Amino acid sequence: MYFHLIAFLLLSIVFPVQLMAEELVVSSAYEGGSAEVIEIDQRKRAIKIRPAGDPQFGWPCWWYFQVTGVTPGEEISVTVDASELKQANGRKFSAIWALPNQAAFSTNQKEWQQTPPGIRNKETCQWKVKIEANKVWFAWGPPFVPTDAQELVKELSKKHAHATAFELCKTRAGRAVPALSVTQAKHEKDAQRMVIWVQARQHAWESGGSWVGRGFIEWAVSDDPQAVRLREKADIYFVPIMDIDNVATGNGGKSQVPHDHNRDWTKTSQWNSVKSAMQYLKEFDQAKRLVLFVDLHNPGANSKLPFFYVAPPELATKRGSQLQSAFIAACSREMKTPFRLSNSTPSTGPKYDKRWKAISSNWVRSETHEYVVGITLETCWNTPHSTTAGYMAVGKQLGRGIARYLENDPRKPHDFD
């Protein structure tokens, strides 16, 4: 008996965490969650998962899960294995999309931090983090789920008299797509006011786009003098998540079958949010009010600066190119820190994608007036500044760039000639 007691005490000294700690439990059964557990080593306090998205619903790069049973102050090891990921056609999916240098983690699902840099080993990556709570959430990047979108537009609508929450549409699965319009009351009946449309997350996994959008819209409704001047000239429409269904279910969205939201901008579009956005944009353009459309995305893992995808030569006109250049120049003057806007401006033409004409910004360029700038902003996700604060700073600076650009009415030809 005494021998067993002594042995127990010795083990308690050598392996205190293993003997006293609760079992680690992984769950992803909540909005936006995605994780298939491969292994949990309770002694080493190590977890290994792979993204659990269905390739039929887009690239399986997104992952997001909760860990309970943590002893506050202990180090947790998380490994993501992307070696067996497949595309919808059965071909191998590149692991680089699922393995950020630094993952996101939170102890309350509100404030998100970055892990220390991970250790890459071919198609896996391991991050070790000391957790000061009894539960923690880990994710590919800071999540922004449908509830966040709903709460954002509701809060801004309640707080600001010039902001109004509305429902863009219901998805095919019956989920609401929250949106926000911003119109100064004294201008409600002004049929000549310019209209700006900003949207995010046509690709569900690109969560940074929603955070950039949040930074933009929170600035746009604020008392910043530049934001006030913008609201004096233009009405603003904002959609924080276009592909609500795939964000809710933890699927990637991009390249889903038969095509994703950003390859659906045609007369036969199948996604309700795209149909509704197209209808709004057509009406604004017919009234000669629409002047700017911005689609928010995240690019590839190796992009280290934000950049714009611009009109391909097939859709470019002299006037349109002048306005596009003026808009980019205005944004470049504002986007300085923590990211500088890249000088790179690739285009989305026929060499980019076989469905290039069905990309949102290309549809805008081809179906609206020549003075309407349709453009895509890609904000890098694989850097130390790819945080909620970093993304929102880009959004705020985008807003200032828009305000600077619209100091002159682009509908008047002489302004930029």
Per-residue pLDDT, 20 = 64
Q: In whole angstroms, what is the distance from residue 136 CA to residue 85 CA?
A: 25
Per-residue pLDDT, 254 = 98
Type and span of the H or E element at 352: none
Confidence of residue 174 (pLDDT cuts 50, 70, 90): very high
Dihedral of CA atoms 313, 317, 323, 325 in degrees, nearest 10, equals 30
| Res 178 pLDDT > 60 | yes
pLDDT by residue (tens digit) across 361-392? 999 999 999 999 999 999 999 999 999 999 99
The two three-digit tokens of residue 5, written as one number: 């007691």
Q: Across-strand partners of 27?
A: 66
Per-residue pLDDT, 19 = 52
| Res 129 pLDDT > 80 | yes
Report the DSSP pairing between strands 104-106 and 36-41: unpaired
| Res 280 pLDDT > 60 | yes
Q: Mean pLDDT in the chain?
A: 94
pTM: 0.94
Cα angle vertex 286, ends 284, 291, to 5°?
50
- The Cβ of residue 31 has, within 10 Å, a number of other Cβ atoms equal to 14
Q: What is the mean pLDDT of residues 313-338?
A: 96
DSSP 258: S
- The Cβ of residue 223 has, within 10 Å, a number of other Cβ atoms equal to 7
How far is it between the farthest Cα atoms of the chain? Answer: 96
Q: In whole angstroms, what is the distance from residue 368 CA to residue 288 CA?
A: 9
Q: Do 289 and 370 touch, CB atoms closer than 8 A?
A: no
Q: What is the mean pLDDT of residues 28-57?
A: 98
**Which residue in the block uniquely carries the two structure tokens 């449908």?**
146
What domains are there in the chain, each with its CATH number? 13-139 (2.60.40.3120), 146-415 (3.40.630.10)
Q: Do 109 and 137 touch, CB atoms closer than 8 A?
A: yes
Q: Does the bond joining 338 to the residue before it have cis omega, within 30 degrees of 0? A: yes
Strand, helix or coil for residue 266: coil
